[in-house]
Structure 1
Amino acid sequence: MIQFDEYKVKLNDLKPKLEELKAAYLPQSLLDELERLHAMAESPGFWDDPARSQKAVMRTKNLETKRDKYADMVSSWEDLMTICEMALEENDDSMLEELVDSYGKLESAMEAARLETLLTGEYDRNNALLSFHAGAGGTEAQDWCYMLYRMYTRWAEAHGYTYKILDYLDGDEAGLKSADIMIEGENAYGFLKSEAGVHRLVRVSPFDAAGRRHTSFSAVEVIPEIDDDVEVEIRPEDIEMQVYRSSGAGGQHINKTSSAVRLTHKPTGIVVACQTQRDQFQNKENCMRMLRSKLVEIKEREHLEKISDIKGVQQKIEWGSQIRSYVFMPYTLAKDTRTAYEMTNINAVMDGDIDGFINAYLTCAATGTWATK
């Protein structure tokens, strides 16, 4: 029964941490906001503006989920304390396995909530636009680019996010040359902003008949989707539009009509493309949304006063800005150069198990303790 005594002590130590967590994870200001949203939904004319009402409903759902998650943590703590007290009183150790398992789940839930409190950036709650670009190296690099694309879409699915393919350019023989996807859901950008940079692969290439080891690079760009209510001035004369026939391995997500749109922002050289919709107008709207997001992100990153101050071709991700290595041969290891976090189960990583990397980045960003400068 000593173990139950030990867990009772652990639970007592956990109680103040749980109460402290509420102040950051579910402050009164969020509960007040939820109350206002409920009142707004019942007001006349709420549904007259579909875009506004949809945004309010989504925010309400996210706040309710946060509220319920914290309530579940409190309930779990109370249940665990009851198990300990009953076991000690009745001298019954049959519930030990359940206690250990449930305590571990409570700790994990609290850690996930703690990490969410680190998402304090202006756009951390927004959807995330991910752009993939294969580096030099032909088919091997293009296959690596697809592996990264798959890794992030698997991560999104595992966390309940949805994603839309906006643009997809097949590789010459395998993989992909470039792709743009929108990952939609609360805090998508806050979690995925850690993934922007160059990713390095080391493996024996399946495309090399001699079985030699190859090093390949692909870049991932991550920017937040900017809401339409953020004012961005884009002059029509600064936009060059091209229409082309859709292509790519997007399956049902990519249409095959001549409605794909590519926009070039002439002052900056930024190029965006979309081929998701069969309607040319909708593809153009998606392109404009992507362009607005990219321009706002650059403006704020460069601390510029207005969009027109952006000059020249912008390329946030330089090939020298390597953030992580994925080694398949002669050993297996995925290691982040910024945080020193690593995993030896490379297959799990490629299947989307990247929470450890994301969590390490958020913790380092909050504390300023980086492995590399």
Structure 2
Amino acid sequence: MAEESITAEALDALTARLDEVEVYLHLDEKRECAAELERQSAQPGFWDDAEHARAIMAELSAARDDVKAVEDARAELADARAALDLAGEMGDDPEAADLVAEAASTAEVLGRSIDQLELTSWFTGEFDHGDAIVTIKPGQGGLEAQDWTFMLFKMYMKYCARHGWKVTVNDCPAAEQIGIDRATFTVEGKDAFGMLRAEAGVHRLVRISPTDAKKRRQTTFAGVEVIPVLPDDIDIEIAPDDIRVDVYHASGPGGQGVNTTDSAVRVTHLPTGIVVTCQNERSQIQNKAACMQILKARLYELELQKREDKLDEIRGPKTEIGFGNQIRSYVLYPYQMVKDLRTGVETGNVDAVLEEGDLDPFIIGYHRWATSAE
């Protein structure tokens, strides 16, 4: 929003968007919820059950955050409108231009805040506001696909860092020649699953192959799976006889040894054939615990599929990681373009996407598209 174009109509448009957000977020209900949770937290013996108390405090914090975000946005909107009104009353006074610039700057920041609030208001799924487990696997393309998998892994690391999310890399073994065999990592942060589920699907890369002596153009694919970290109150029982646990030496991208003991763990769920590996931690016990968390999340997803046939709600349709199934194309040659094939969102600044993790335009675009399609 350029400073010279700020108008009362533009502020009216922001007000209308904020009104919609307040409705979607059920702000009055959240105010009542926060008040009730505050009463509970003040009761004697509240902390006797520490786990329950932490859950209540987390819910209270989330409700307060939503209320405060909208109230702060309303205050900023009022400031921008007051500055613009005062500038109009000042006529040709040189200070009027400064007030218009102040209003425009406030409105620009406010617009970004409302973008984020709109996004949060669209997250109505059971797990949208929680943490996520992301897995990236090579698809068609051979060695190139393994390199592409590593490129995507680094892109998501940058994206998570931009949002201040905590990332735990559970598994990221190096491929024999280039790239990685796969990557699985857990992302902890506000709305992590809601945001990242936009990335589930097949990602296509077109570039000059770095491994081809003739410098021919290569098309490569990798698949991204995003599933939620299950809350503690969802219990998935796994019989000890249903799993096989193997241990082995851990290694990371580039072939370096993580440590010199057999600390890496592979858990195979025999009834379903699901295999989960983890080598991030330095003990078998910690790696096995991480594997079991991921396994439970995948079994829960599988149960949803069998019970309700609604797998798309969790990670999107299961398709071959190859031609015709991609959700987004990253073209580095003969031109440069990243384009989401679902929403039409695109950019020519591929470095911002791949090197800096600037994925918000694509993720916000996806959720706006998905919400409008409902």
TM-score by length of 1: 0.88
Q: Report 1:254-273 matches (<5 A).
A: 255-273=259-277
Aligned residue for 1:356?
361
Q: Is the 8 A contact 1:162 1:185 kept in 2?
A: yes
CA shift for structure 1 position 127: 0.6
Looking at structure 2, the residues matched to 258 and 119 of structure 1 have their Cα atoms a distance apart, in angstroms, of 41
Query: Letter of the aligned partner of 2:164 in structure 1?
Result: G
Greater shift in the superposed pair: 70-79 or 27-36: 27-36
CA shift for structure 1 position 30: 1.9
Aligned residue for 1:132?
136
Aligned residue for 2:312?
none
Aligned residue for 2:246?
242
SS across alignment from 1:181? strand
CA shift for structure 1 position 59: 3.3
SS across alignment from 1:219? strand
Aligned residue for 2:321?
319
Looking at structure 2, the residues matched to 165 and 347 of structure 1 have their Cα atoms a distance apart, in angstroms, of 23
- In the alignment, structure 1 residue 336 sits paired with structure 2 residue 356: no
Aligned residue for 2:186?
182
Q: Please give the root-mean-square deviation of Cα atoms over the aligned residues, in Å.
A: 2.6
- In the alignment, structure 1 residue 36 sits paired with structure 2 residue 36: yes
Cα distance, 1:26–1:251 mapped onto 2, change above 3 Å: farther
SS across alignment from 1:95? helix
Cα distance, 1:340–1:4 mapped onto 2, change above 3 Å: closer
- In the alignment, structure 1 residue 215 sits paired with structure 2 residue 199: no
Q: Is the 8 A contact 1:4 1:87 kept in 2?
A: no
Aligned residue for 1:83?
83
SS across alignment from 2:182? strand
Looking at structure 2, the residues matched to 278 and 297 of structure 1 have their Cα atoms a distance apart, in angstroms, of 28
TM-score by length of 2: 0.87
Unaligned runs of 5+ in 1: 306-314
Cα distance, 1:124–1:254 mapped onto 2, change above 3 Å: farther
Q: Is the 8 A contact 2:353 2:359 kept in 1?
A: yes
**Any idea what the Cα deviations from partners look like across 1:8-60, whole Å, max 9, x if unmatched?**
23324543442332122252222233233333433444444444344433333
Cα distance, 1:100–1:49 mapped onto 2, change above 3 Å: same
Cα distance, 1:96–1:271 mapped onto 2, change above 3 Å: same
Looking at structure 1, the residues matched to 282 and 69 of structure 2 have their Cα atoms a distance apart, in angstroms, of 40
CA shift for structure 1 position 132: 1.1
Greater shift in the superposed pair: 122-131 or 102-111: 102-111
Aligned residue for 1:23?
23
- In the alignment, structure 1 residue 201 sits paired with structure 2 residue 205: yes
**Any idea what the Cα deviations from partners look like across 1:339-358, whole Å, max 9, x if unmatched?**
22222211111121111211
Q: Is the 8 A contact 1:5 1:84 kept in 2?
A: no
Query: Letter of the aligned partner of 1:358 in structure 2?
Result: I
Looking at structure 2, the residues matched to 4 and 343 of structure 1 have their Cα atoms a distance apart, in angstroms, of 26
- In the alignment, structure 1 residue 233 sits paired with structure 2 residue 263: no
Looking at structure 1, the residues matched to 135 and 47 of structure 2 have their Cα atoms a distance apart, in angstroms, of 34
Looking at structure 1, the residues matched to 78 and 176 of structure 2 have their Cα atoms a distance apart, in angstroms, of 58
Aligned residue for 1:367?
372
- In the alignment, structure 1 residue 104 sits paired with structure 2 residue 108: yes
Greater shift in the superposed pair: 227-236 or 257-266: 227-236
Query: Letter of the aligned partner of 2:345 in structure 1?
Result: Y
CA shift for structure 1 position 96: 2.4
CA shift for structure 1 position 252: 11
Query: Letter of the aligned partner of 1:237 in structure 2?
Result: D
Looking at structure 2, the residues matched to 295 and 340 of structure 1 have their Cα atoms a distance apart, in angstroms, of 34
Cα distance, 1:317–1:285 mapped onto 2, change above 3 Å: farther
Q: Is the 8 A contact 2:80 2:102 kept in 1?
A: no
SS across alignment from 1:169? coil
Unaligned runs of 5+ in 2: 310-316
Looking at structure 2, the residues matched to 198 and 340 of structure 1 have their Cα atoms a distance apart, in angstroms, of 16
Q: Is the 8 A contact 2:135 2:224 kept in 1?
A: yes
Calculate percent identity across the aligned residue pairs.
37
CA shift for structure 1 position 206: 2.1
Cα distance, 1:256–1:338 mapped onto 2, change above 3 Å: farther
SS across alignment from 1:94? helix
Query: Letter of the aligned partner of 2:222 in structure 1?
Result: S
Aligned residue for 1:310?
none
- In the alignment, structure 1 residue 276 sits paired with structure 2 residue 280: yes
Q: Is the 8 A contact 1:223 1:293 kept in 2?
A: yes
CA shift for structure 1 position 253: 12
Looking at structure 2, the residues matched to 303 and 95 of structure 1 have their Cα atoms a distance apart, in angstroms, of 59
Cα distance, 1:188–1:293 mapped onto 2, change above 3 Å: same
**Any idea what the Cα deviations from partners look like across 1:126-153, whole Å, max 9, x if unmatched?**
2110011122434322111111011111
Looking at structure 2, the residues matched to 239 and 304 of structure 1 have their Cα atoms a distance apart, in angstroms, of 25
**Any idea what the Cα deviations from partners look like across 1:227-280, whole Å, max 9, x if unmatched?**
121132322211111111211139999555322211111111111111222232
**Any idea what the Cα deviations from partners look like across 1:52-82, whole Å, max 9, x if unmatched?**
3444333333333322221221111110111
